[in-house]
Structure 1
Amino acid sequence: MLDQLRQIADGLGQTLAPFCEVVVHDLLEPDQAILAIHNSLSGRQVGDPATELGMARIADPDFTQVLANYANQFADGRQAKSTSIGIKDASGRYIAALCLNLDLTLFRGLQSAMNQFMRMDTEGPRESLDPAGGADAIRARIDAFAGRHATTPRALRTDERRALLSELRAAGLLDVRRAMETIAAHLGVSRASVYSYAR
């Protein structure tokens, strides 16, 4: 089982590099628990001891098996988001853990940059570059419909698209100039498809 965990950790480490540290802990050997570590963001290495969380699992077989997305911190102060998955044997005893520690430093920087980039002066003049006039209202209604169905406009099923067209018709939005083109573009389908949904 531990060897299989090592393979899983290797695959996750390669996929999530360089932002995520992936660690396999052998909880049967707490003094040298780290069995494998990929993208060592914490500076730890194979043979290092178990963490407090690992020790808690060793002491309590009823300890939560999956702790996802909890706040953590590297030794140098960098903020991290961590997930820890406890692995039990057939008797219900914790024998290992697979842990992921995501360095949030870069993502926080990107978030700040994106917030700055997307900031707009709300006091400035208002204009629309949309020649269709009501296209924004159509797109907003489509987005809201998709949100209610916990999906995206392009992932709507055929029956959902038919219900959407019925809703747009009831709202008078099919009468907007170039409405079918706007709907087709936002759904990622052809105009012919939109006409078929509207029947």
Structure 2
Amino acid sequence: MKTLDYLKQLAHGIALQFGPNCEVVIHDLTVEHLESSVAYIENGQISNRTIGDGPSHVVLEATKKDSNELEDRYRYLTRTKDGRILQSSTMYIRGKNNKIDYIFCVNYDITGLLAAESAVKSILATEVPSNKGDLPEKITQNVNDLLDDLIEQSVAMIGKPVALMTKDEKVAAINFLNDAGAFLITKSGDKVSNYFGISKYTLYSYIDVKKSDK
């Protein structure tokens, strides 16, 4: 049985076992265009995603980082665009040379359970703390949402609106986007340069500034 077929069978079984509050997503990193990385999804109504939708943060991270540095994550918090809180787990499925071919994600909607947190505290406890403090990660539906979210994060990191940023602060914000994999998204350079009020030539020169400092 092919790996993807096996993962689809596993996803279907997990979704049936845990019911309609359990979303299971398979991202295919073997495809040519990651803008359509969602290869299979069960209970997609939770995040409003369907097959063919774009990547999430974990996909960009897997594409950008050395695969040897990535470890499976279990029972961390994420949130959907409409504000639902999910308890999520992410598993990296590797192929030849330890290359990540698929990402298998389980997202359980705990929004209703939060109202009775004291009664189900053991269920809601997170095993691994998020690297971004107590704020759940956003689950994005498409590449435009993902890029918007990354831009918001870059501005929040600087702590002031673009109009008040110095050149050095813009350099820092843009290199945050580069490190996060934002420029792997098609035509992201146009959107980022327009957002920061600079030319595309200046945009890439800001990235080169960091490289020359190494």
TM-score, length basis structure 2 = 0.50
2:107 corresponds to which residue? 101
Equivalent pair of 2:29/2:37 in contact (CA under 8 Å):
yes
Amino acid at match of 2:82: D
- State whether residues 26 and 97 of structure 1, in contact with CA within 8 Å, keep that contact through their aligned partners in structure 2: yes
Which one of 79, 90, 95 corresponds to residue 96 of structure 2?
A: 90
- Alpha-carbon deviation of 1:34? 0.7
Match of 1:67 among 73, 76, 94: 73
User: Tell me, which stretches of 5 or more residues in structure 2 are unaligned?
Assistant: 122-214
Secondary structure of the residue that 2:26 maps to in structure 1? strand
Q: 1:54 aligned to 48, 52, 59, which one?
A: 59
Structure 1 CA distance for aligned equivalents of residues 83 and 21 of structure 2: 16
Larger Rg: 1
- With normalisation by structure 1, the TM-score equals 0.54
Q: Does 1 or 2 have the higher relative contact order (CA < 8 Å, sep 6+)?
A: 2
Question: For 1:105 and 1:98, how far apart are their aligned partners in 2?
Answer: 22
CA contact (8 A) 1:65 1:87 kept: no
Paired with 2:90 and 2:62, the residues of 1 have a C-alpha distance of 11
> 2:49 is matched with which residue?
44
- C-alpha change, 1:47 and 1:111, in structure 2 (3 Å) is same
Structure 1 CA distance for aligned equivalents of residues 71 and 80 of structure 2:
22
Report the count of equivalent residues: 115
For residue 114 of structure 1, report the CA deviation from its aligned partner.
Answer: 8.0
Structure 1 runs not aligned, ≥5 long = 116-199
Counterpart AA for 2:79 = Q
Q: Per the alignment, do residues 113 and 57 of structure 1 end up closer, same or farther by CA in structure 2, a change over 3 Å counting? A: closer
Q: How far 1:90 sits from its partner (Å)?
A: 2.4
Which residue pairs with 2:37 in the alignment? 33
> Once the two structures are superposed, what CA deviation does each residue of 1:34-93 show, in whole Å capped at 9, x if it has no partner?
111111100000001111211111222124231111111011011111100011102111
- In structure 1, the residue matched to 2:179 is none
Deviation digits for residues 107-156 of structure 1 (CA, Å, limit 9, x no counterpart) = 113436889xxxxxxxxxxxxxxxxxxxxxxxxxxxxxxxxxxxxxxxxx
Aligned residue type for 2:5: D
1:2 and 2:4 correspond: yes
1:111 is paired with a residue of what secondary structure? Answer: coil
The percent identity for this pair of structures is: 28
Instruction: Give distance in 1, aligned partners of 2:43 and 2:76.
Output: 19
The 1:56/1:106 distance shift into structure 2, 3 A limit, reads: same
Distance 1:28 1:111, change over 3 A: same
| Paired amino acid for 1:58 | T
